[in-house]
Structure 1
Amino acid sequence: MKTTPFDRVFHSLEDFVDTISDTLSCPVTLEDANHQLLAYSSHDDETDAARISTIIGRRVPEKVINRFWQEGVIPALHQSDQPLDIPSITELGLRNRVAISIRKNQEILGYIWVIEVKKKLTAADKQLMKIAADKAKNLLMQLTLKKKHREQTNEQLLWQLITEKQSHHTIATLFKEAGIPQIRALTIMVISFPKLDDSLYRNVKYVAKTTKDVQLVINTTDRNQIIFLLSPLLEHSPEQALREFSRTMQEQMKERFAVKDMTIGCGYLYNDYSKLIQSYQEAQKVVRAKKWHQSELTFNYFLHELGIYRYLDIIQQHAEPITIENPVLKSLLIYDTNNNTSLFETLDVFLSKDGNVNETSKALHIHVNTLAYRMKRIQEITDIQLKDPLHRLALLFEIKLSTLAKKGLQDE
C-alpha cells in the first residue's frame, strides 16, 4: 500500500500543519468547529489578509464567517467530506482557497484551509487533503475529549454560581482554579426553546462562539434551556454589546438553522460575582415574561426593557382570579361579540403603542383612516377619556392582565 507524508506520528498540530503545507506547497490553517485557530503553517512566504487577521485574532473574523454562510460555503462543508473550491473574495482579502471539514461521523471537529498562492491544487492534491483530514480526525478527537472534560467541570462551576450564595472572593478563586482568567463584569443569559436536543445546543454554541464583542465563558443546559455565562468585550457599551449579541443569535439561528422559536433573557452585568445568582434570576424573569408576550417583547432582553410586562406576572400571582369588571372593557367585548368587530384588540394595540397612530395602524395592518374610525367608535361606545394618562395606564394594565389570565387558562 502506498504511503503518504501523513503515515507517521505527529507530536504537535503545528508539525501536522507544516507537513500539509510542505506536501501541497501552499499556506495552511487548521481550525476547530467554531473557527478558532488551532495551528497554521509557519514558513509561508505569501498569504492573504483574511489569513493574517485569523492568525492575529486567533479566530476567523466574524465578517468572513458571515460571508461564507451567505455564499453557502460552510453549509457545503457541513454536508460533504470532499474538498471544496472557494473562489477569491477581494473585498474581504481572500484569495482562492480549498477547504475540507474534519468530521467524526456527522459531528464537525474542525476544518483545514489551503490557500492557492502559487499553484492550483490538482485532483491528487485534493486526495491528499482527504487523507490529511482523516488523520486530523484522530488528532482533534484527543483535543475534543480534553475539552469536553474541561467543559463538564466548568458546567458544575456554573451551577454553583447560579444556585448557591457565595462571596465574590470565593467565586474568583473558583475561576482561578478552573483556569478561567480574571474577567471584567459578568452576566447570565438564558435561552429557552420549546424543545432542546444536542444538535440545537451545538448550533447555538457555534453561533455564540463565532460572534464578536461578547465572550462565552461557560455554558450548560437545563431541560429546554441553555444557560450562558457571558462577558462583553466592549468596555464603553457592554449592555449594548449584549443586546446586539442577543439579536444576532436570533437572526443567525433563523437564517442558518431555521430556528425561529427561541426566547432570550439577560440578567444585569455585575463586577461583584456574588450577584451572579441574582443575574440568573433576572434572566429567568425576562424569559417568563416573554413566554406570555413574545410578539411584543421579541427584541427586549433586560428587565427594565419589559415596561409594564415586568409587573404583570407579579400582580397576577398575588391577585384573585381575574375577570374583567371594568365596564369600558366589558362593553367593548360585548360589542365585538355581537358585531364581529375587533375594537378591544384595537384599543389594546393603541394603548400599547402609547397612542401613536402610525405605529398602531401598522401593527394592526389597517389604514390610518380605518384606525381613526375605530377609535371614534370606541369613544362613542365607552365614553373613555384617553387623554388622561392614569386612565390609559389603568386600562392597559387591565387589558394585559385579562389577556394573561386567558392564556393561563388555555395552558392548563
Structure 2
Amino acid sequence: MGSVRAVVDRVGPTLLHVVHLPEHCPTVADVVIAEPGGRGHLAAGDLVLGVATTDPAEAVELIRHSGQRAAAAVLLKPPLPGRPAIRRAARSTGIGLVEVHAGTSWAQLVWLLRTVLDAIADESETLENGGDPGASDLFRLADAVASVVDAPVTIEDTNSRVLAYSARQDLTDPARVSTIMGRRIPDDVLARFRSRGVFRELSRGRQTIFVPAQQDGTLPRLIVPIRMGGELLGSMWAVVSGPVSDERAAAFADAAPVVALHLLRRRAHADAQRRASAELLRAVLQGKAGPRAALAELDLAEGPHRVVAVDTARGDGRDVTDGEGLRLALLERISHGIGRRPVATELGGLLYAVVPEAGGQGDWPELRAALGSIPEVRAAAGSAGEIDALARSRAEAEEALGLLRAGLVPGPVVTHDDVWTALVLHRAATAAAGADVTALGPLDRLRAHDRTQRTEYVDTLYQWLRHPGDPRRAARTLRIHPNTLRYRMRRLLELTGVNLDDPDVRLALLTQLIALHWR
C-alpha cells in the first residue's frame, strides 16, 4: 500500500492535484465511489471518489462522513475543491482532499488508481533499482495494438520521440526504419507530415487521421492521438498499405485510452525520478551532500563539469517561466536536439544545470549555443572542474550572472573564465566601497558639482583615466567631441586643483571611480 501523496504522484499532475493533506499522510487501501448523499460503506484507507457530488453542502457532508470512517482522501472535481468551506472541512476532519481534472473520465480514473495501487505493491523492487515500470509494458502494448490494427505500430510522445514500437515489421518503409533507429521521426519526414497538416489535426482532437502514400515512397499512415483529461500525451502511428476500414480504424482508436494510462504512469515515474534527482542536486550544490556519493545517482560521468545558472526574469523583474515546473520545461526546450538532458534543479528562483565541459552531445559548448538562441534568458557558467568542485562552480556561476544582470558584461551567455577582468574590477570595487574610499580626496566635490550643475565631470574623468594618452577614444566612449573632452578636463582641474601628472594620484582616482562604476 502507498500513501495518498505516492498515489497522486504516480498518477501525475495531469489528472490529480493535492489540495490538502494532513500532517501524517494517510495510506491508501482501496478506491471506492461514494454513494449519492455522501453515505455508504466506507473503510479505513479508502480513496473516496465523489462522482455524483456537485453541491458544496453534499461535498462537506461526504468529507465529514469519510473522515469518521478514517478514509484516506476524498476526490472531487472543480470548482468544489476550491471552496473555502470544503477546504475547512477537510482540515478540521483530518482527511486528504484531492482535485480531479475537470475533463477526466471517472471510469478511467478508477481503473488507473487501482492499477497504480497494484503497481506500488508489485513494483517496489523495480523502483528501488531505478527501472522504468512501464517501459516493457509499453512495447507489449504496441504489439497488441499492432495485432488490432493489423499493421506495424509506433507509440510516440508529443515531441515525435519514439517511446515503443511493435516487433512486427512485415510492412515498412525508410521513414519507419529511420524513425525506429533514431528513436525519433527524422526532421525531413516531420516536415512532410507537417506540410500535410497532420500535427494540426492531432492538436484538434481528430479520432483518426489517414495520410495517403507520398511520392518519395513513404507508405500510408493511420494516426491516432493519445489523450487524457483533454491533454495530448502523444500519438500512435500505424504503417498501412492503403485506406483502412471504419471497423479497423475504430478498433485502433479504442486502444488510445489504454495507451494513455501507460503514458501517464511512465510520466509520473519519470517525474518522481526527476524530483529525486533535483533534490539531490540541490543538496550537492549547497554543500549538504557529498558529490562523490551522488555521482552514480545523478548519472554524471567522470571528468570536468560546469554548473550553469539560468535566469529567466525579464528586465521588468517578471519571470517569463512563472515557476519551477515551467523552468524545467524551459530546460527541455533548451536541451531539445543537443543530446541527453542535463541534470538540473531549481534553487532560489534560478535554474541550475550540470553539464560536462566537453566530449560530445549535451556538453557545455552545445548548451551554450542553445541558450544563446533564446532571447528571454540569461545564463552564466562557473569554471570547469571535477565533481568535488560543483559547489564552487555554482558560486562562480552566480557571481558571473550577477555581472550579467547588472549590465556590467555583455550577454546573454557568459562563463566565469571569460569575464575575469570584470570580476577583478567588481571585487575591487566592492572592497573599496566597504572601505569608504570614495569619500576621500576631491571626488566628493566633483560628484556634488555634477549633481547641482548637471555636468558630467565624474564620467569624463573616468574615461580619461581609462584611455590614457588617447583622448579621441575617451571622447568616442562618452559620445562627445574631443574638444569637448579637453574643455571638461580643464574645467574639472580648475575645480579640484588635482595634479594628474602624479601617477599615484591617477591610480587613487581610478580606484575611487572603479568603486563607483563597478559596485
Identity score, percent? 16
Give 2:266's aligned residue: 143
CA positional deviation for 1:180 = 2.9
Task: Tell me how far apart the structure 2 counterparts of residues 220 and 237 of structure 1 sit (CA, whole Å).
Answer: 16
Give 2:407's aligned residue: 293
Tell me if the contact between 2:220 and 2:241 (Cα under 8 Å) persists in the aligned partners: no
TM-score, normalising length: structure 1? 0.64
Give 1:31's aligned residue: 156
Q: After the TM superposition, which residues 5-404 of structure 1 pair with which residues of structure 2 at under 5 Å, given as runs?
A: 12-32=137-157, 35-60=160-185, 63=187, 76=200, 79-82=203-206, 97=221, 101-105=225-229, 110-114=233-237, 116=239, 118-120=241-243, 128=251, 130-164=253-287, 171-176=291-296, 178=297, 180=299, 182-194=301-313, 195=319, 196-198=322-324, 200-213=326-339, 215-231=340-356, 234-235=359-360, 238-248=363-373, 250=374, 260=376, 262-270=377-385, 272-293=386-407, 296-320=409-433, 337=454, 374-375=481-482, 377-382=484-489, 402=516
- Larger relative helix fraction: 1
**Equivalent residue of 1:154, what SS?**
helix
Distance 1:330 1:231, change over 3 A: same
CA positional deviation for 1:150 = 1.8
CA positional deviation for 1:39 = 0.5
Tell me if the contact between 1:265 and 1:301 (Cα under 8 Å) persists in the aligned partners: yes
**Equivalent residue of 1:305, what SS?**
coil
Task: Tell me how far apart the structure 1 counterparts of residues 196 and 488 of structure 2 sit (CA, whole Å).
Answer: 57
Give 1:3's aligned residue: none
CA positional deviation for 1:14 = 1.5
Give 2:60's aligned residue: none
Give 2:14's aligned residue: none
* Higher alpha-carbon deviation: 185-194 or 82-91: 82-91
Task: Tell me how far apart the structure 2 counterparts of residues 265 and 238 of structure 1 sit (CA, whole Å).
Answer: 15
Tell me if the contact between 1:186 and 1:273 (Cα under 8 Å) persists in the aligned partners: yes
Which amino acid in 1 is paired with 2:333? Answer: V
1:223-247 deviations in Å (ceiling 9; x for gaps):
4212222236735995423422322
Tell me if the contact between 1:17 and 1:40 (Cα under 8 Å) persists in the aligned partners: yes
- RCO higher in 1 or 2 (8 Å CA, sep ≥ 6)? 1
CA positional deviation for 1:41 = 2.1
Tell me if the contact between 2:221 and 2:237 (Cα under 8 Å) persists in the aligned partners: yes
Tell me if the contact between 1:292 and 1:404 (Cα under 8 Å) persists in the aligned partners: no
Distance 1:39 1:163, change over 3 A: same
Task: Tell me how far apart the structure 2 counterparts of residues 97 and 375 of structure 1 sit (CA, whole Å).
Answer: 72
Tell me if the contact between 1:35 and 1:59 (Cα under 8 Å) persists in the aligned partners: yes
CA positional deviation for 1:153 = 2.2
Which amino acid in 2 is paired with 1:279? Answer: S
**Equivalent residue of 2:399, what SS?**
helix
Distance 1:243 1:182, change over 3 A: closer
Distance 1:380 1:67, change over 3 A: farther
CA positional deviation for 1:88 = 9.0
CA positional deviation for 1:208 = 3.8
1:30-57 deviations in Å (ceiling 9; x for gaps):
2345554321122224545454344234
Tell me if the contact between 1:332 and 1:344 (Cα under 8 Å) persists in the aligned partners: no
Q: Gaps spanning 5+ residues in structure 1: where?
A: 1-6, 252-259, 365-370, 385-390, 406-412
Give 2:18's aligned residue: none
Aligned length: 356
CA positional deviation for 1:139 = 0.8
Distance 1:375 1:394, change over 3 A: farther
**Equivalent residue of 1:38, what SS?**
strand
Tell me if the contact between 2:303 and 2:387 (Cα under 8 Å) persists in the aligned partners: no
1:147-191 deviations in Å (ceiling 9; x for gaps):
22222322232123212276xxx6444333x38374544332221
Tell me if the contact between 1:81 and 1:102 (Cα under 8 Å) persists in the aligned partners: no
1:333-388 deviations in Å (ceiling 9; x for gaps):
689947xx9x969x98xx89xx9x9xx99x99xxxxxx6x745543554379xxxx
Which amino acid in 2 is paired with 1:40? Answer: Y
Which amino acid in 1 is paired with 2:305? Answer: L
Task: Tell me how far apart the structure 1 counterparts of residues 177 and 507 of structure 2 sit (CA, whole Å).
Answer: 57
Distance 1:66 1:25, change over 3 A: closer
Q: Gaps spanning 5+ residues in structure 2: where?
A: 1-110, 116-133, 314-318, 493-504
Tell me if the contact between 2:378 and 2:412 (Cα under 8 Å) persists in the aligned partners: no
CA positional deviation for 1:302 = 0.6
